[in-house]
Amino acid sequence: MGDTPPLPASPPPPPPTPLTLVQPSCKKKHKPVKVFRVFRNVFRSFPIITPACKLPSLPGGRLPDGKVVSGSRITGTLFGYRKGRVSLSIQENSRTLPTAVVELAMQTNVLQKEMSLGMVRIALECEKRPEKDKTELLDEPLWTMYCNGKKIGYGVRREASEEDLHVMEVLKAVSMGAGVLPGRSEAEGPDGEMAYMRAQFDRVVGSKDSETFYMLSPEGNNGPELSIFFVRV
């Protein structure tokens, strides 16, 4: 018997995307504003199904405590594999490194279904710290998460992973939009798709214990609303 021919070598993995995102210039500075509005978002292309949660309110029907004193414009990206947990990346703009990444207690496809209803309010809540504790609100490691008033689990703040940074790099030229990217996750396999939704958000700081992100949209758009509340109670 002859020698068994060697198996063909598997193709090498594609080289990583060079990282060109830059450090944010003013992570903790906010320009004062006198008034703000709730803007409607730009995305309409989600499947329509029966909602899992219906009450468009914060936990307990509360609004964040404190008077609105400042606000600024940021870039927010919701992304994840369709059957995996969705993550929120917060950037000063689309060309900077994320200032925070929060993994939410919701699958990506479930969030897409909720967005089809026309209104989604996500509240992330944690306990207040002692007065002397200077931890920034968005640096909190663990959040109780509510969707439209219904508790659904816990959100976790984490450092941006290599895959997170790859997604932000690929979307560097995108200021707003929604779509899919080729998957890179071993769990999802080479055919898995990473869904994303990116928009500009109006960031409103009510106090050191409350911030709200309102998704912006072009004038005249009648798509669904999305608001994200960070609250210490």
Which residues form the domain of 133? 59-232
Within a domain: residue 179? yes
The least confident of 16-20, 57-61, 85-89 is 57-61
Within a domain: residue 34? no
Q: What are the distances in angstroms from CA 23 to CA 27, 55, 100, 193? A: 9, 39, 12, 28
Within a domain: residue 173? yes
Q: What are the distances in angstroms from CA 50 to CA 41, 108, 159? A: 20, 16, 34
**Domain count of the chain?**
1
The least confident of 43-52, 81-90, 93-102, 202-211 is 43-52
Cα separation, 43 vs 93, in Å, equals 19
Within a domain: residue 38? no
pLDDT at residue 44 is higher than 90: no
Within a domain: residue 15? no
Within a domain: residue 2? no
Q: Is 156 helix (H, G, I), strand (E, B) or coil?
A: strand
Q: What is the mean pLDDT of residues 98-125?
A: 93
Q: How confident is the prediction for the chain on average, in pLDDT?
A: 77
Within a domain: residue 87? yes
pLDDT at residue 48 is higher than 60: no
- Could you tell me the pTM of the whole model? 0.74
187 or 57: which leads in pLDDT = 187
Within a domain: residue 97? yes
